[in-house]
Structure 1
Amino acid sequence: MIEKRLYKTIFYDRHIDQQAKIIEFEKWLMPLNYRTGIVNEHLLTRKKAGLFDISHMGRFIIKGRNSLKFLQNIFTNNSQALNELESQYTIISDKNGFAIDDAYLYRFFNNEYLIVVNAGNRLKDFEYFKLHAGKFGDVEIIDKTFEISMLGLQGPLSKKILQKVISRGELPKPIRNNLSIVKIGNAEVLLARTGYTGEPLCFELFINKKDSLLLWDIFIANGAVPVGLGARDTLRLEACLPLFGHELGTDPEGKEIPIFSSMLSLAAVSFSPLKNNFIGKDSLIKQFSALKKILNKDFSLITGLPRRIMPFVIRDKGIARHGDKVYFNEKHAGFVTSGTAVPYWDITGEGLNTNLTDKSSIRSIGLALLDSYIWEEDIVDVDVRGKKMKAAIVPYHLRSEAPPFSYPILYDKEKLYGQEKKTPLFSFKNDSALKNIHLLLENTYKNTRWRQKECINLIPSEQTPSRLVRLISIMDPAGRYAEHKKVKAFYDSEILYYQGTDFIAGVEQLLKEELSRYLCCREVEVRLISGQMANTVVFSALVDYLNRAYKKIEPERLGYVLNHHIIRGGHLSAQPMGALKDFVFIDTQTDKPAVIDFPILKDNPYKIDIASTAKVIEEYKPQLIIFGKSVMLNKEPIAEIRSIINALGIECIILYDMAHVLGLVGPYFQEPFKEGTDIVTGSTHKTFFGTQRGLIAVNYQKPEPGYEFWEAIERRTFPGSVSNHHLGTLLGLLMAAYEMNFFKQEYQKKIISNAKSFASELNNLGFDVAGDKDISFTETHQVIINFGYSEGPQVAKLLEDNNIIVNYQASPYDEGFTAAGCIRMGVAEMTRFGMEEKDFQELAQFIFEVVINKKNVKEDIKKFRKGFLDMKYCFTEKKFEGIINKIIETI
């Protein structure tokens, strides 16, 4: 009799020390659970940090001159999309589109790749790789499974633990699948933002065997909880992650499961032309074609993908297991692929105030391979040992987009599908319309008085318009239409579509002239009603302009775009998830929108690294560069980048989205067109004096080629984006423009001096103020304070409870806004209400008392605000009392 060889990872003795229950798993002796048990290990991973020995997984190094060609052929994903320090989920497909295995591909170094495969498939995969590598010449495949250890550190506290123990290097960028190389003590660690738990904070570590035990001990000493295979399975099931042999491979009847049966395969399969004819491509295209129709509830190609993996929740008492049959309308419709009872933390609160409690519950959930015509909300029967139990098909069991925690989603039809009645912030419970109206008016009054008379308003996106601006914004034009466009037959005269519009047409022309004078440019489009819309119009017009030669074919999208990433404070409207989404091409190299991020300085993540940016521009030759951010402490290097573009001879348009700093244009901040900007966009209500609108400005003139671009902007404004362009706020904006041109020098100088004074005093009080101390931290109206990971929302709420209104802000190192570690403040509004440098210094002291000393200063703030009720930098009503009274009589 041949003795079966069983492997042990280097952590085996540590598992024994932790009283682990050891089982045989894929020829390895591995911990099923520790003394705490599977349920507690699952729960502690969700609330704290779980430490997983995953050294049983297969690990191969692939290198050689032709390694990339090999990877592109053997894997379903686009391996060429990986830059250095990036990773991706991928699948090894056979020629028929069935999974041989799923895998993770890592590129820690430029000249080699690391592949992680399932433990039970290691030898099979290795032989399969060697079989196909021979076709590609210089490809070397090295099995490193027994030389490199692998740990998983998953859960809300994993980031803090790593930050505490890393001695050199940095965490990967706060985006999933990013990598870094760090040192913990003297041990070099390959660190990845990957994992198999569904946690938003997830890390996997590759360690030299000699350093492995030291790192295990370090993580345990710093609060990580050892977690065995049992909880690893319940965690991945709750996250709806596939397991080979269950959701991939063969089904309980022995039939092979199509790769696209798993929705995660959408992220694992690429049809990029760079991949040519990879193994299984034709079959996968057929599956994908079927899936696209199925997702539209068109089942005409269902034979190409007869079944899909769907999450379900058992509604009766009982637990579904792998292999249990599922019935729909009394007919056999598939099998359970994974099922068990999974614990979860009970939740209290709503929205941002949602919290995991100290109480937990259990639910019976699973994944099933079901006929493709079965859909979310359908009710099926699961046959569990001869007893049929009701189960609901649901979209997911867990959500992870609100770091640092993941949150269980419980099956409740009304809540899950948006039909639950929400409790309004104030209730309209009366049957009487008159009572409802009175209640609305009363609450409107209370809210306005609170914000205008009792609060210190520091949100940098906001600005209270003057009384004159507000007054004329509600006059007759507010209910009128004045659509118009240029007609070349009439020598580009503006033709209005409605009568009775002479007044507002004149207002619009005057507004263009005032804003042109303010911005020092020739043309301004003022019909846009938001800054986001302004950017959308520019992107749309640019596509139109670039395709102007011939319009009978599908238009080409924008080439490479260089901008600020949203995590680093970039405007949402300049992101491929925002206004840029439909206008930029998909880069076949990366399978992602062709958007490149500005490099930033290591010692100041709020500032562009100009030298590195020059290299990026030379490499990518961007067609559009977008400056401007929502987190803006510094001037943008417009002149420097324009010089680089000119030196390289690149045709590139520079757009400056000045939404936050539009009211600062001038000698104290920046003069964009003098410095080399082609287009300025912005919203008119942050540092500018309101109302809430948007604009586009250029300096083109006929017969410059760029003037055709301007004409495209006008077309994409109307009829492309607006019809009625909100004439009331247009009228109000003219008054605001008069104010700005009259008071701008004094106002702008005071904004910047106030912000610097505010930031410096906060720093003196011990706060961690972001920015360059040598320039008093800021060159704009904004001030940023770092409070530590995920502390921002709590600090913002604490200040709001004391009538200091700020907003929480993610830092360049945070995974998302729910994990924001900063608060963002702006001095524009309160400067306009008369606050000086000394007043902001006093305000800094109030913030110190609230945040550090936990003192309630609400009444003190009310008294403080009484000194700042009269707006400055605007025209006083006394000068226009007669005409104002006449205007009021018409309301």
Structure 2
Amino acid sequence: METDLKKTTLWAWHKEHDGQMVAFAGWQMPVAYKTGIVEEHLRTRKYGGLFDVSHMGRFLIYGEGATPFLQHVLTNNVLALEHGMAQYTLIPDEWGGAIDDAYLYRLDEGKLMAQSRYLLVVNAANKEKDWDWFMEQKKRFRDLIIEDKSEEMSMIALQGPKTKEVLEKILVEGHTVLPDPWRNRLRVCEIEGEQVTVTISRTGYTGEPICFELFSPSEKIRMIWERILEVGAPNGIVPVGLGARDTLRLEASLPLYAHELGVDKEGKEIPIFAAPAPGLGVSFSPLKGNFIGRDALRRQFEEMKLRLGGDPLPPKEKQVVPKRIFPFAVVGSQGIPRQGYEVWAHGKKSGHVTSGTMVPYWIFSGDGILMEPSDDKAMRSIGLAYIDADLKEGEKIEIRQRGKSFEGMIVERHLSLEAPPYARPILPEEKKRRILPPPKALGESALALVTRVVDNTRWRQRETVNLIPSEHTPSPLVRFLTIADPSGRYAEHRLVKGLGERDVFYYQGTKLIEEVENLLSEELRRFLGCLEVEPRVISGQMANTAVFSGLMDYLNRLDRKSEPRRIRKVVNHHLGRGGHLSAQPLGALRDFVAIDPMTERPAAYPFPVLRENPYQIDLEKTGELIEAQRPELIVLGKSMIIYREPVREIAQMVSEIKPKPIILYDMAHVLGLVGPYFQDPFQEGADLVTGSTHKTFFGPQRGLIASNMEEGTEYEELWEAIVRRVFPGSVSNHHLGTLVGLLLAAYEMNAFKTEYQKAVLSNAKAFAKALRDEGLSVEGDPKLGYTETHQVILRVGYRLGPLMANRLEENNIVLNYQAAPDDEGFTSASCLRMGTQEMTRFGMKEADFAQLAAYMKEIILYDRPMAEEVARFRKRFTEMRYCLSEAEARPLLDRLLDVLS
């Protein structure tokens, strides 16, 4: 090996542990260890791998000129980076090619942008070239400091499904925590017992959904490396060399400079937009100004939009991205593609392989969310190719080399990252036409359906303990009313001011439903203590959508000739911290919230939460957020809600802002708890309330919108806009049968509100305490009784939520698994979410919930079969409470049955 090669701080460790050292980019680096490339690849995917990546360049950039400099020399938008965030980016040239690709980290220090310090990580082979390029560009900027930290700061990567629990074991307990569980977050942490600080980011180059990179002083890196392996060895963590790092990144279809970036086989520059991942690292925000390569990249981007949108393209000879990088899989043979092999399509040469090899993969077993890697493994040949951009996924290609050829297929990707903690292989499949089974006779089908429904109803209503907090069985009389006439009818109507403020119905035969709607509005106003209720929405999600649409309409009321603008900024709960899907940019908010020109993301800003209690809003930081962003809408309420929402405090914060933000409390889960024992949203300052009528409320599945925005008030026009967005904006037939059932449910709620709410809340606290007394881990503040609502959150272990939920269902306890605030997604859920509302209504009291906690302990901790015992327990609780007694309801049910049959 060459003697002038550089060595990382861990070089001696690699030699001591049989690292197979090779020359790479001017460094001596381990290509593999005794385990070998294939085993290191597999171990990373199933357990985790530890990588020495200190050969990469690390530049620290700071000063007043840092942000303008980075905006000029990098493709991504630096202003989109908040403190403690990172982004993929590229160093472009004037012609739209890549000098290098890189990762930029905004270190978690300095309040102002000008005080921020950035760390830019570049490829080892390009470090000197990048440095020289930056030094040349630096001359144009004042107050700019660029320091090469590659020697004094080392960098290692820990990637794979078991790595999170390893890091949690070596950090100072109770003092530092890992970065938030979302990609590209970073945080300064401290190693237990060593007083060593380390910056940890959720980034990586393997395609693993659970991924970390660690930066620390070089003199401390061996200690950290050895500590990770010491703690991680029982979990299957192994050191991994460059060989497996390359096969892992190839399987994830990640580009490698000099393969998918730089120049092609013919010496021509590869356009940045030729590869999917690099294209995501380019921003054309006006905030960037005229950065290097902007015009060339813009031409590439516009051409790619035409291509992907199916629009006409320029002639081939004038295209700026005539070829693209495609992932492909070898099919029907055992050929192994290599860099430089020719690729043919439709009988002509199309391009060449940029990366290719044979990689191993685990075969998964199990079903759905419970799937895990088995002990079985296989090999597959895959690659990336720079080929004709007109080709599409699913097309066959031919790979040729030295007179030999084998067949391949263009695929969308080789790996799925959507279901943490595992990255799952995607194998090429021929598209198959679905064939319908032969139809059965009507009688046979009806018998099978009714039998299945009867069995399921008997199981859910007589044998299972139902703890899902978003469900509620209505009383028998409510259920029967929902299927009576006017079920299946129409009763569209709207208020016409020109006809004396009268509701005009468009159908005949609607006198009953007009009466029902009026009575229902009265009962709901009485329950909520408000002046206006819109009951026609048929779900809480639709209620939120109508509010967002109505608010957008209201904001544009003074200019009806221009393109309507969206809601400029929204503050809401993050989905990963229990926020409701309907209040997210990926949910109902999607079509109504603007794009923030600073971040180039939807302008929805999550509430800051307390680090010591992520279920509670951090009011101090929320005040700072509201002052900085000046939102037009603030959405309170969550689907994982164990505390009161700080409505009064936030109303006070925004009281002096002009125009005042609208405060919406989405009470979907806690609508039935409104009152003195939980909270009164309108008295505390909410402008709007939306909700579901079937969770803690007694009704069938519907929604509602409520406010005090009556005629003559400041927001009269907003309420009118919301009503218009309900009808004709959202509903035509508003499900009249369930509306009738909801009226009786509202009568029941107003009659039994006090007793029911007290029982639900006291049962929840008793249930939480009993679970804790049984040795289980209950989320929430014990000083508050763990919960202030009907919900109880139980932590059962990282990604064990689905397993335990399934096990409990097999034992007749039905609840749902729930991602904790520190989980990466629902597939890695650590918790169970439970509610006491339904079983309280069936008569369970505090002592009964304590008994249930004892059953759950046996099932969760010891996997003891308890199905029969739980079913016997449930049979004690089959009579509905907080409604008409059976004696009172029976004559009414008989009258309904008489006409329904």
TM score, norm. by length of structure 2:
0.96
Matched, 1:285 2:295: no
In 2, Cα distance between the equivalents of 1:96 and 1:494?
64
Matched, 1:353 2:362: no
Partner of 2:391: 374
Structure 1 counterpart of 2:123, which letter?
N
Q: Secondary structure at the match of 2:655?
A: helix
Partner of 1:230: 243
In 1, Cα distance between the equivalents of 2:183 and 2:831?
21
In 2, Cα distance between the equivalents of 1:6 and 1:433?
79
Q: Write the mapping of 1:606-625 to structure 2, written as runs, cut at 5 A.
A: 606-625=615-634
Q: Secondary structure at the match of 1:586?
A: coil
- CA offsets 1:306-358 (integer angstroms, 9 cap, x no match): 11111111002211111111111101112111111010001112311212101
Contact 2:272 2:279 in 1 (8 A): no
Partner of 2:113: none
Partner of 1:257: 270
In 2, Cα distance between the equivalents of 1:241 and 1:400?
13
Match of 1:183 among 161, 176, 190: 190
Unaligned residue ranges in structure 1 (runs of 5+): 423-427
Deviation (angstroms), 1:843: 0.6
Partner of 1:51: 50
Structure 2 counterpart of 1:12, which letter?
W
- CA offsets 1:188-221 (integer angstroms, 9 cap, x no match): 2111100000101100011111101111111111
Deviation (angstroms), 1:552: 1.1
Q: Write the mapping of 1:796-807 to structure 2, written as runs, cut at 5 A.
A: 796-807=805-816
Q: Write the mapping of 1:863-874 to structure 2, written as runs, cut at 5 A.
A: 863-874=872-883
Contact 2:578 2:638 in 1 (8 A): yes
In 1, Cα distance between the equivalents of 2:602 and 2:826?
22
- CA offsets 1:112-171 (integer angstroms, 9 cap, x no match): 110000111000000101111110122111111111111000001110110001124210
Deviation (angstroms), 1:420: 6.3
Matched, 1:789 2:788: no
Deviation (angstroms), 1:476: 1.9
Contact 1:784 1:822 in 2 (8 A): yes
Match of 2:683 among 665, 671, 674: 674
- Which deviates more, 283-292 or 823-832? 283-292
Deviation (angstroms), 1:854: 2.1
Match of 1:153 among 146, 149, 158: 158
Match of 2:652 among 632, 643, 647: 643
Matched, 1:747 2:746: no
Partner of 1:340: 357
- CA offsets 1:640-686 (integer angstroms, 9 cap, x no match): 11112125556111000000000001111111101100000011110
In 2, Cα distance between the equivalents of 1:653 and 1:611?
20
Partner of 1:425: none
In 2, Cα distance between the equivalents of 1:130 and 1:595?
38
Matched, 1:127 2:132: yes
- CA offsets 1:826-881 (integer angstroms, 9 cap, x no match): 00000000101111111111111111232111000111011100000111353254
- Which deviates more, 273-282 or 491-500? 491-500
In 1, Cα distance between the equivalents of 2:895 and 2:418?
54
Partner of 1:276: 289
Q: Write the mapping of 1:104-503 to structure 2, written as runs, cut at 5 A.
A: 104-108=103-107, 109-110=109-110, 111-167=116-172, 168-184=175-191, 185-222=194-231, 223=233, 224-301=237-314, 303-315=319-331, 316-414=333-431, 431-503=440-512
Partner of 1:506: 515
In 2, Cα distance between the equivalents of 1:535 and 1:883?
35
Contact 1:321 1:384 in 2 (8 A): no
Partner of 1:529: 538
In 2, Cα distance between the equivalents of 1:349 and 1:758?
32
Distance change in 2, residues 1:299/1:15 (3 Å): farther
Q: Secondary structure at the match of 1:758?
A: helix
In 1, Cα distance between the equivalents of 2:372 and 2:488?
45
- Which deviates more, 857-866 or 872-881? 872-881
Structure 1 counterpart of 2:82, which letter?
N
Contact 2:51 2:239 in 1 (8 A): yes
- Which deviates more, 451-460 or 853-862? 853-862
- CA offsets 1:367-403 (integer angstroms, 9 cap, x no match): 1112111111111111133222111111111011111
- How many pairs are equivalent? 881
In 1, Cα distance between the equivalents of 2:435 and 2:211?
35
Deviation (angstroms), 1:296: 2.0
In 2, Cα distance between the equivalents of 1:829 and 1:100?
62
- Which deviates more, 322-331 or 828-837? 322-331
Q: Secondary structure at the match of 2:763?
A: helix
Contact 2:92 2:98 in 1 (8 A): yes
In 1, Cα distance between the equivalents of 2:66 and 2:729?
48
In 2, Cα distance between the equivalents of 1:75 and 1:500?
67
Q: Write the mapping of 1:809-820 to structure 2, written as runs, cut at 5 A.
A: 809-820=818-829
Contact 1:64 1:139 in 2 (8 A): yes
Q: Secondary structure at the match of 1:103?
A: strand
Unaligned residue ranges in structure 2 (runs of 5+): 111-115
Contact 2:477 2:889 in 1 (8 A): no
RMSD over equivalenced CA pairs, Å: 1.5
- Which deviates more, 644-653 or 218-227? 644-653
Q: Write the mapping of 1:839-850 to structure 2, written as runs, cut at 5 A.
A: 839-850=848-859
In 1, Cα distance between the equivalents of 2:430 and 2:841?
49
Structure 1 counterpart of 2:76, which letter?
N
Contact 1:190 1:207 in 2 (8 A): yes
In 1, Cα distance between the equivalents of 2:675 and 2:214?
50
In 2, Cα distance between the equivalents of 1:835 and 1:653?
39
Structure 2 counterpart of 1:491, which letter?
G
Deviation (angstroms), 1:759: 0.6
Deviation (angstroms), 1:187: 1.8
Structure 1 counterpart of 2:351, which letter?
G
In 2, Cα distance between the equivalents of 1:442 and 1:73?
68
Distance change in 2, residues 1:794/1:147 (3 Å): same
In 2, Cα distance between the equivalents of 1:498 and 1:285?
55
Q: Secondary structure at the match of 2:182?
A: coil
In 1, Cα distance between the equivalents of 2:165 and 2:644?
33
In 1, Cα distance between the equivalents of 2:545 and 2:306?
30
In 1, Cα distance between the equivalents of 2:312 and 2:3?
48
Contact 2:370 2:803 in 1 (8 A): no
Matched, 1:730 2:739: yes
Contact 1:297 1:373 in 2 (8 A): no
Structure 1 counterpart of 2:346, which letter?
N
Contact 1:88 1:177 in 2 (8 A): yes
Structure 1 counterpart of 2:679, which letter?
Q
- CA offsets 1:698-725 (integer angstroms, 9 cap, x no match): 1112222301000000111111111111
Contact 2:569 2:629 in 1 (8 A): yes
Deviation (angstroms), 1:429: 8.0
In 2, Cα distance between the equivalents of 1:177 and 1:883?
60
Q: Secondary structure at the match of 1:587?
A: coil
Contact 1:60 1:144 in 2 (8 A): yes
In 2, Cα distance between the equivalents of 1:802 and 1:204?
42
